Amino acid sequence: MFPEFTLRYARLPEHFFLRFDPVPVKAPRLVAFNRPLAEELGFDLDAFDADQAAEWFSGNAVPQGAEPVAQAYAGHQFGHFNPRLGDGRAVLLGEVVDRAGRLRDIQLKGAGMTPFSRGADGRAPLGPVLREYLVSEAMHVMGVPTTRALAAVTTGERVFRRVPEPGAVLTRVATSHLRVGTFQYFAARDDVEAVRTLAEMAIERHYPELAEVDEGERYLALVEAVAARQARLVARWMGLGFIHGVMNTDNCSIAGETIDYGPCAFMEAYDPATVFSSIDEGGRYAYRNQPWIAQWNLARLAETLIPLIDDDQERAVARATELIKRYEPLYEAEWLAVMREKLGLATEEEGDRALVDAFLEAMQAGRADFTLAFRRLGEAVEEDAPALLERFESDEGLRAWLPRWRERLAREDAGPAAIAERMRAVNPLYIPRNHRVEEALAAAAEDDFAPFETLREVLADPFTEQPGREAYAQPAPPTEAVFRTFCGT
Ligand code: AMP
Ligand code: MG
């Protein structure tokens, strides 16, 4: 049933990883499986057998052709550099060529202690595994580049965080697991040839259009290409109110995918200063900081490539610095494109930026739910809709803004119905609301997977009204609101 492996990472020189077999678990049980993704990856689903799948996706059996490795990487965590992180609880089984001809990594997360574990247990609790499953798949459906979740298995063992929890393993699929931190690992060891190898792998796998660029330009071009993907990615997060929570350089993907769903959460009442993660005390990774943290991470990537950019170090630094500055307008353009779509604008006008800002200000003043404010705005294209107004605790700002917006809409080529329709296609009704996610995880910890399954179903179709599922669109009631998320992953 497993597709054939086309090993790439495990064929790099030995100092890129440590060979490491997953540590077997006591009683693996498959609790979630992503059939459409499995199909996409080339699994033979006619031969699907849940017991066999539980063996593979727990790491108890290594599928034929896989050569499990723990990848080496470093990273800046909350601004502090750690030269040796690496896969402390993940193993890359290998790469497969999917049905579209793209190379995809298949990784087990929670597969046991590796030489990179640094004293931690190498395991993952069920809660964070299911959270990553739900949120990453929701992000994918909402059009955000992301790693995917192929399977979740419970291990029959307990892991100890704040309290004992059921253990689990997540099978994660990524376009690759190359991170800014992977480059940093080798740069910190002055291993320029290894950095070059990584850069070439990144170009081949993710930026084949750069293959022909000559030596003198290609590494700077790589940074520029990664910057473009990151700008696009973070703009999409911002458009959904998504807060990643741990934008460390080891969680910054070279392929431009969202990776590592830890204390991530979606903002409800709009406030750009929102932070959820309990470990983010200084608010470094607050909602509004995300675009600039991505830029900071890109600067760390550029630093690793300095020796390859130009023999003259000063000139290399100057060129890289100039390029990193160019991320700002790039990001602004991506963000404005996302926001225009959310407001139903398909054309571009000078004043659009101010129009977007004014709506966000009204939303903040009115403590409106970010997701529902945009969704209900689509019902107010022609006249004030109660469903929109009731989202705002105070609506003076909104009422002043609406005529301005409608005046702008009148200059669009589409009529009100068409505008409303395209707004529904980009402003989700259902997002993984924190309290719903928590509720599903709590039930699963008691071996009741029904809430998880229901939430998975709801999130699979986020742009369409689902009769009977109205409650899933609602923000948390005050008693259930989540203001803090815990890493404890
Ligand atoms: P993360 O916060 O998941 O991005 O992980 C940061 C680093 O800590 C990586 O090197 C992980 O492999 C490592 N790590 C996180 N949790 C564990 C764990 N339970 N056991 C071993 N290593 C871990
Ligand atoms: Mg990580």
Please write the tens of the pLDDT for every residue from 214-259: 998 999 999 999 999 999 999 999 999 999 999 999 999 999 999 9
How many structural domains does the chain have?
2
Q: Indicate whether this model's pTM tops 0.75.
A: yes
Single out the catalytic residue among 87, 105, 250, 395. Answer: 250
**CA atoms within 13 A of residue 405's CA, in its CB half-sphere:** 29
Q: Which of 154, 174, 194 marks a domain boundary? A: 174
C-alpha of residue 102 to centroid of ligand 2, in Å: 23
Looking at the fold, whether 135 and 59 belong to one and the same domain comes out as yes
117, 121, 486: residue to mutate for ligand 1 pocket, most atoms within 8 A of CB: 117
C-alpha of residue 403 to centroid of ligand 2, in Å: 46
* Structural domain that includes position 23: 9-174
Please write the tens of the pLDDT for every residue from 7-35: 999 999 999 999 999 999 999 999 999 99
Please write the tens of the pLDDT for every residue from 295-325: 999 999 999 999 999 999 999 999 999 999 9
- Given a cut of 70, whether residue 192 has pLDDT beyond it is yes
pLDDT bracket for residue 485 (50, 70, 90): confident
**Is 115 domain-assigned?**
yes
Looking at the fold, whether 184 and 329 belong to one and the same domain comes out as yes
d(CA 423, CA 344) in angstroms, rounded, equals 5
C-alpha of residue 82 to centroid of ligand 2, in Å: 12
Nearest by Cα to 260 from 90, 474, 407: 90
- The per-residue pLDDT for 479 is 83
**Is 124 domain-assigned?**
yes
Among 147-161, 362-376, 474-488, which is the least confidently predicted range? Answer: 474-488
Looking at the fold, whether 13 and 142 belong to one and the same domain comes out as yes
d(CA 457, CA 481) in angstroms, rounded, equals 22
- Nearest CA owner, ligand 1 atom 14: 88
Q: Which of 289, 314, 335 marks a domain boundary? A: 335
End-to-end CA, the chain = 30
Does the C-beta of 89 come closer than 6 Å to ligand 1?
yes
Average confidence score pLDDT of the chain:
97
Looking at the fold, whether 97 and 13 belong to one and the same domain comes out as yes
Neighbours of 342 (CB within 10 A): 20
Looking at the fold, whether 23 and 56 belong to one and the same domain comes out as yes
Does the C-beta of 86 come closer than 6 Å to ligand 1?
yes
Q: How far is CA 172 from CA 29, 208, 420, in A?
A: 17, 24, 36
- The per-residue pLDDT for 448 is 98
Please write the tens of the pLDDT for every residue from 383-411: 999 999 999 999 999 999 999 999 999 99
- The per-residue pLDDT for 96 is 98
Q: Are 374 and 356 in contact (CB under 8 A)?
A: no
Number of the ligand closest to the Cα of 114: 1
**Is 23 domain-assigned?**
yes
C-alpha of residue 277 to centroid of ligand 2, in Å: 15
pLDDT bracket for residue 487 (50, 70, 90): low
C-alpha of residue 89 to centroid of ligand 1, in Å: 6
- Given a cut of 90, whether residue 293 has pLDDT beyond it is yes
Does the C-beta of 72 come closer than 6 Å to ligand 1?
no
pLDDT bracket for residue 128 (50, 70, 90): very high
Looking at the fold, whether 189 and 326 belong to one and the same domain comes out as yes
**Is 369 domain-assigned?**
no
Does the annotation count 447 as an active-site position?
Answer: no
Looking at the fold, whether 54 and 136 belong to one and the same domain comes out as yes
Q: Are 122 and 88 in contact (CB under 8 A)?
A: yes
- The per-residue pLDDT for 483 is 78
CB within 8 Å of 280: residues ≥ 6 apart: 78, 245, 246, 263, 286
Looking at the fold, whether 124 and 191 belong to one and the same domain comes out as no
Q: Which of 290, 309, 335 marks a domain boundary? A: 335
- pLDDT > 90: percent of the chain: 96
What are the tokens at 372? Answer: 């529902």
Neighbours of 124 (CB within 10 A): 25
80, 92, 116: residue to mutate for ligand 1 pocket, most atoms within 8 A of CB: 116
Identity of the residue numbered 345? L
Looking at the fold, whether 236 and 315 belong to one and the same domain comes out as yes
Please write the tens of the pLDDT for every residue from 37-46: 999 999 999 9
pLDDT bracket for residue 130 (50, 70, 90): very high
Please write the tens of the pLDDT for every residue from 54-90: 999 999 999 999 999 999 999 999 999 999 999 999 9
Ligand 1 closest atom vs CA 159: 19
Ligand 1 closest atom vs CA 489: 16
Does the C-beta of 260 come closer than 6 Å to ligand 1?
yes
What's the rounded mean pLDDT across residues 169-192?
98
**Is 380 domain-assigned?**
no
- pLDDT > 70: percent of the chain: 100
- Given a cut of 80, whether residue 488 has pLDDT beyond it is no
d(CA 369, CA 193) in angstroms, rounded, equals 50
Could you list the beta-strand ranges (E) of 161-210.
164-174
**Is 486 domain-assigned?**
no
What are the tokens at 480? Answer: 């259930």
- The per-residue pLDDT for 286 is 98
**Is 422 domain-assigned?**
no
Looking at the fold, whether 163 and 191 belong to one and the same domain comes out as no
Ligand 1 closest atom vs CA 248: 4
- The per-residue pLDDT for 478 is 83
Looking at the fold, whether 18 and 95 belong to one and the same domain comes out as yes
**Is 104 domain-assigned?**
yes
Looking at the fold, whether 184 and 170 belong to one and the same domain comes out as no
Burial bucket for residue 38 (CB in 10 Å: 0-12, 13-18, 19+): buried
What's the rounded mean pLDDT across residues 138-161?
98
